Amino acid sequence: MKIGRLLTAMITPMKPDESVDYDEAVRVAEHLVASGCDGVIVSGTTGESPALGDEEKLELFRRIKGALGNGGSVVAGTGGNNTIHSVELTKRAVECGVDGILAVVPYYNKPTQDGMLRHFGSIAEASSAPVIVYNIPGRTGANMLPTTLLELAKRHKTIVGVKESSGDLAQITAICRERADGFSVWSGDDYLFLPALAVGADGLISVAAHACAARFRELLDAVDEGDLRMAAAIHQETAPIVAMLFATTNPIPVKWLMNEFGFAAGGCRSPLGAMPESLMAPLRALAEPYRPIVHAR
């Protein structure tokens, strides 16, 4: 896969005044690729996309792709609940040289399956870059059915895969069973990484890879080599920190953790809140074995 099998949905670092810290965003992206990721999702949900402006997103795309070059893929989060706006942002993101587009099922609107076909069809027709559909009904309020997804891929050659975050292993199984050759399935839930691989998924778009990228790469390699005992051991080892990173609304915990690791991640923009004090010590303890060596900027 050109885009890669292990991707991190990366945070967007903020300065104390809540402006985007572009230099630190580049630093985080470079660290994630060096840790074992094939690339990064920029301005996804974990990157606080609903709280970013278009020009901020585009500058992130330009800066991070310019820094990574051919060393790591950059997938631009351009989807939203306004089809016209999503199409225009997608066109501008492609002009930044990104390797792919991530477009989420429109949130709040609760579109019908036909509405999803129209929405994603418009984005696909506007993009010369590969498009990954992002299905996360727990956030959007609407689930894209496998039949709808596969019809989209049949109609539009630029739709190349799905980040499936329904949490429904039966749905992931159905997609893997019915998909055409070349259509990729990424688990969008860290806790389902190994189970999703077991039913045919190709990889992971991760939040926890901010801490566990190297271990997730080892898990993926173990599955490829048929060493399921090793893969299960890594899955069991990383399960506690994965759970803790979602103990409150993402990306609050992972952004706090990146500050703990020595990155200038800053806080989350409003309307997200601060890290609950009750979660700090437990997450710090779980994360200690994964602490990277970070040099001062």
Which residues participate in catalysis according to the annotation? 134, 163
- Determine contact, residues 185/176, Cβ cutoff 8 Å: yes
- Determine contact, residues 237/208, Cβ cutoff 8 Å: no
Q: From residue 84, how far is each of 73, 80, 224 by CA, in Å?
A: 26, 9, 41
Q: At what angle do helices 54-68 and 22-34 cross, to 10 degrees?
A: 40
The contacts of residue 127 (CB under 8 Å, 6+ apart) are 90, 91, 94, 101, 158
DSSP letters spanning 50-99: GGS-HHHHHHHHHHHHHHHGGGSEEEEE---S-HHHHHHHHHHHHHTT-S
Chain centroid offset of residue 44 CA = 6
